[in-house]
Amino acid sequence: MQSVINILPENLANKIAAGEVVQRPESVVKELLENSIDAGATEISLIIKSAGKLFIQVSDNGAGMSEEDVEKAFLRHATSKISHYEDLENIRTLGFRGEALASIAAVAQVEVKTRREEDEAATLLLIEGSVIKEKSKTAQTRGTTITVKNLFFNTPARLQFLKSNNTEFKHIYDTVQRTALSYPEIAIDFTSDEDSILSLESETLVERLQMLFGDRHFATLIPVNETTDLLSVHGYIGKPDFARKSKVDQYLFLNNRFIINRAINHAVYSGYEHLVEKGNFPFFVLFIDIDPRKVDINVHPSKMEVKFSDEQSIYRFVMSVIRKALGQNNVVPSVEFQTNRAFTEFSPLRHTAQPRLDEITGSRSSFPAPSLEFTAAGQSNVDELPFNLTNTLDKIFSTVLSSDQEKLPPAEQNKQDELELYEGQPIWQLHNKYIFIQTAAGVMIIDQHVAHERILYERALQRLHNALPASQQLLFPHTLELHSGDYTLLKEVLPFLTSIGFEIKPFGKNTFVLEGVPPEVKSGTETGILQDILDEFKNNQLRVKLDARDNIAKSFSCKAAIKAGEKLNDIEMRSLINQLFAAKMPYVCPHGRPVIIKISLLELDRRFFRT
């Protein structure tokens, strides 16, 4: 019987393999730039024509290759980066698979000129469709120049899938920009169809950011820098009010390698804790440095996908570092009047998705009144500790998120200033819902429910972290009978409820006895609060996947906080405000709603035509 299994010819196998590595001109540019960086280049030049379809040339002043090595470099699985399996666990170079040059040569016409410092002449190699057409000597300074012509000339089916020149150019530019960000010390010159696109000198990251994004954009960025023995994060994040509708300006580098990782991107987003409107995405350029043995980069030929040995811990670390960085740049939401048709003298303000004041209070005037909109989102001042990390990272966080007690950081100083502004000033309650405070600069408005919610949320988080519950015993314990679903849920979250102060014991089928509650729970509401917490916990789980501890803290704070409609006396209001400004992030509630807004005296004067 004749065999039906064939061994593919080498040239066909190379073309098939090239499909994974070389998908478009940008793939060639990426691989060649990475090779130049791995070769120790300090200067790289990139020239493309017709968006790389016809011509791509990358020149560098790196180490160069010997005559023997330059020919080997275009064989499949030929690499200078690794030699043993163990090397895969400690990769610090950008390339290592030994596939890129072989794949490029399989689908293009390639010319290589390379020379080492110790060589008298450079080696010239011409390859077409994996076949060496010429090998000779030529003149060139130290380094390597690789020219790729007529990409996909021998695979026309692949060629027809390329997009327009504008689209392909955009992909190449994005790759060059990412390379420029990750290695600001390397000078890069980029030319497209005789036009100079980028001409970057060797510089610092700050200078490179200013060069690529402009001084105005750079002024909106917040520095991030946390270093530990096992993990470090540094770079810049954008202020919440400059978030955009797309993720194009998000750059994540792992050991200087650009990667795509949804979990870490989400960790950054979570770090803003609802300060960024849903559908918007913050700008960030973040560098994560970690032991290469803790991450697997050999996931895909593109080398942009990675797997962490403990992704959850990385997630928590990044989220907390982002929160801490935002905490140094908090901005209290302010209110300005937006022009309506009756007052054309004023310039309209930028629209935001924040609620208007009349929407919050639920009341409207019967005549056209000035509308109020938030013009700045309150920025986070949270440096909360993550709660389900490994013991090692718990120790790291105790160092990363500790504060200098002798000198208040900027965020703490801002809160101290807020307290001083209102001390001794008139204070009153509006509709048993909002607290109005006269300040030197105008008026501050506090939502009493979400203010108390923020206080209780941080208090619950602290108890959960320290495992030091505060509880008050009930004179008469309450019996709580639940249906099967809630009974199972209560058993699941019982350790967390115990940590925040509930004392609950099983008492027969689907029944619990409530013997103690946190001191914030009002007498007579104990069983109702517990049932409300379970309901809120389930609602949160349906809307978004939350860590169980965070979910319990949110549910407890929401249900135990004072409600809109509860009358407070002067002492209670001032006590609430003092506790609020003692919180780590007093400006936003756990669910993202603003706690405080301000109306400046200047805005009031403008509205009454006093200026």
Q: In the structure, what pLDDT confidence band is assigned to residue 245 with cuts at 50, 70 and 90?
A: confident
- Measured CA to CA in angstroms, residue 546 lies from 469, 543, 590 at distances of 22, 9, 12
- What sign does the dihedral 7-9-13-15 (CA atoms) show? negative
| Pairing of the two strands 596-600 and 334-338 | parallel
Q: Comparing 31-35, 183-187, 299-303, 399-403, which segment has the lowest mean pLDDT?
A: 399-403
Q: Comparing 161-165, 327-331, 482-486, which segment has the lowest mean pLDDT?
A: 327-331
- Measured CA to CA in angstroms, residue 497 lies from 144, 472, 473, 544 at distances of 64, 14, 15, 20
Residue 504 to residue 516: CA distance in whole angstroms: 7
Residue 369 to residue 8: CA distance in whole angstroms: 78
**Residue-level pLDDT at 367:** 29
**Mean pLDDT, range 435-444, rounded to an integer:** 87
pLDDT at 584 over 60: yes
**Residue-level pLDDT at 120:** 92
**Mean pLDDT, range 556-568, rounded to an integer:** 90
Residue 371 to residue 253: CA distance in whole angstroms: 44
**Residue-level pLDDT at 501:** 93
pLDDT at 177 over 80: yes
Residue 72 to residue 65: CA distance in whole angstroms: 10
**Residue-level pLDDT at 409:** 46
What DSSP character marks residue 404?
-
Across 390-394, 400-404, 560-564, the highest mean pLDDT is recorded for: 560-564
485: its two tokens:
């679903």
Cβ–Cβ < 8 Å for 179, 35: no
Cβ–Cβ < 8 Å for 594, 275: no
Phi/psi of residue 149, each to 5°? -115, 150
Query: One-letter amino acid identity for 280?
Result: N
Cβ–Cβ < 8 Å for 270, 285: no
Cα angle vertex 599, ends 594, 600, to 5°?
135
Across 18-32, 75-89, 149-163, the highest mean pLDDT is recorded for: 149-163
Query: One-letter amino acid identity for 195?
Result: D
pLDDT at 555 over 70: yes
Residue 215 to residue 203: CA distance in whole angstroms: 15
Q: In what order do the strands lie in the sheet with 143-149?
A: 131-138, 122-128, 109-115, 143-149, 55-60, 43-49, 187-192, 195-200
Contacts of 405 (CB under 8 A, 6+ apart): none
Task: Considering only residues 480 and 373, tell me which one the structure prediction assigns the higher pLDDT.
Answer: 480
Query: One-letter amino acid identity for 420?
Result: E
Q: Which among 160, 59, 53 is positioned nearest to 109, based on CA atoms?
A: 53
Residue 100 to residue 79: CA distance in whole angstroms: 10
Q: Which among 536, 535, 532, 512 is positioned nearest to 522, based on CA atoms?
A: 532
Across 308-322, 346-360, 416-430, the highest mean pLDDT is recorded for: 308-322
**Residue-level pLDDT at 189:** 97
pLDDT at 406 over 70: no
Taken in order of first residue, the domains within the chain and their CATH numbers are 10-200 (3.30.565.10), 220-327 (3.30.230.10), 334-452+567-607 (3.30.1540.20), 467-560 (3.30.1370.100)
Among residues of the chain, what percentage have pLDDT more than 70?
75
Q: In the structure, what pLDDT confidence band is assigned to residue 223 with cuts at 50, 70 and 90?
A: very high
**Mean pLDDT, range 337-363, rounded to an integer:** 33
End-to-end CA distance of the chain: 99
State pLDDT tens for residues 589-600: 887 788 988 888
Q: In the structure, what pLDDT confidence band is assigned to residue 422 with cuts at 50, 70 and 90?
A: low
- Measured CA to CA in angstroms, residue 250 lies from 181, 194, 276, 293 at distances of 12, 29, 14, 25
**Residue-level pLDDT at 448:** 95
pLDDT at 147 over 90: yes
H or E element at residue 580: helix 570-581
261: its two tokens:
């990782």
**Mean pLDDT, range 443-452, rounded to an integer:** 93
Phi/psi of residue 236, each to 5°? -140, 145
**Residue-level pLDDT at 49:** 96
Whole-structure pTM over 0.75, yes or no? no
Task: Considering only residues 177 and 7, tell me which one the structure prediction assigns the higher pLDDT.
Answer: 177
pLDDT at 362 over 90: no
Task: Considering only residues 167 and 339, tell me which one the structure prediction assigns the higher pLDDT.
Answer: 167
State pLDDT tens for residues 48-79: 999 999 999 999 999 999 998 898 888 876 66
Q: In the structure, what pLDDT confidence band is assigned to residue 388 with cuts at 50, 70 and 90?
A: very low
Among residues of the chain, what percentage have pLDDT more than 90?
38
pLDDT at 335 over 70: no
Q: In the structure, what pLDDT confidence band is assigned to residue 166 with cuts at 50, 70 and 90?
A: confident
Q: Comparing 86-100, 258-272, 463-477, which segment has the lowest mean pLDDT?
A: 86-100
Cβ–Cβ < 8 Å for 290, 345: no
- Measured CA to CA in angstroms, residue 414 lies from 439, 455, 580 at distances of 14, 18, 13
**Residue-level pLDDT at 32:** 95
Q: In what order do the strands lie in the sheet with 442-447?
A: 371-374, 334-338, 596-600, 442-447, 434-439, 427-430
Cβ–Cβ < 8 Å for 275, 377: yes
- What sign does the dihedral 135-141-143-146 (CA atoms) show? negative
Q: Which among 540, 543, 588 is positioned nearest to 275, based on CA atoms?
A: 588
